[in-house]
Amino acid sequence: MFLFRLRSSRVFSLAVTMVVYAVLILNKAGGLIYQRDFNPGLQKLSSNDYLILAGTFHGVHAITSQISPTNETSSSGLEVLESENFVMRCFQTLTGTKFLIFAEPRQQNLDVVVRRVYELYADYVMKNPFYQIEMPIRSEGFDRHLTSYIKPHQ
């Protein structure tokens, strides 16, 4: 009984503190194919600036994966970026697509969130016959499922 209560209270606290600001998806060439804000907290940018942001991040990621302080020959590149006001988590798939999640600082379990977004992408974007690979994502099913996954956590 005690164990059960402990577990449920932990899940509850996680759900309450979860604030995801935005999700960005970059294709393997560094182009922005998806950008969506979920909660207020990030500065609004023009669409051109979002493209510049994506391209810049792509470049920085490429550099960080080339230089590594350890003896390893290759590095996974930049994964987490933390600042006073936000934390950014980057997840690169084996095919080179990047998922960026912006959230509140000290947000836990962002790797779980990013994996789930990847799963939704694999389901509702890649299995959609009307989606052209590497092109901007306009999929109603993906939008809907992403909203129902991220929104209730705020």
Partner 1 sequence: MNRDPSPFRTASTASTATSPTPKYANLTASTNLRYSLTRKSIYDRHLNRTKTSELSKSAFAFLFGEMVQYAQKKVYGVQDLEKKLNLHGYAVGQRFLELLLWRDGRTAKRETRILGILQFISHQLYRAIFQKQADTLEKVRENEDEYMISDNDPVVNTYISVPKEMSQLNCGAFIAGIIEAVLDGHCFPAKVTAHTAPNEMWPGRTVFLIKFEPEVLEREALRVGS
List interacting residues with partner 1 (CB under 8 A).
123-124, 127-131, 138-142, 144
Closest approach of Cβ 50 to partner 1, in Å? 22
Closest approach of Cβ 128 to partner 1, in Å? 5
Closest approach of Cβ 15 to partner 1, in Å? 23
Can you state the percent helix, strand and coil of the chain, rounding each to 5? 40, 20, 40
Closest to partner 1 by CB, 107 or 139? 139
Closest to partner 1 by CB, 17 or 93? 93
The phi, psi pair for 30, rounded to 5°, reads: 90, 5
The residue whose two tokens read 């609004």 is 44
The residue whose two tokens read 């979920």 is 38
Closest to partner 1 by CB, 13 or 147? 147
Q: Nearest CA to 103 among 62, 138, 153, 141?
A: 153
Closest approach of Cβ 127 to partner 1, in Å? 4
Instruction: List the structure tokens of 122.
Output: 């694999």
CA–CA gap between residue 38 and residue 98 (Å, rounded)? 18
Closest to partner 1 by CB, 99 or 124? 124
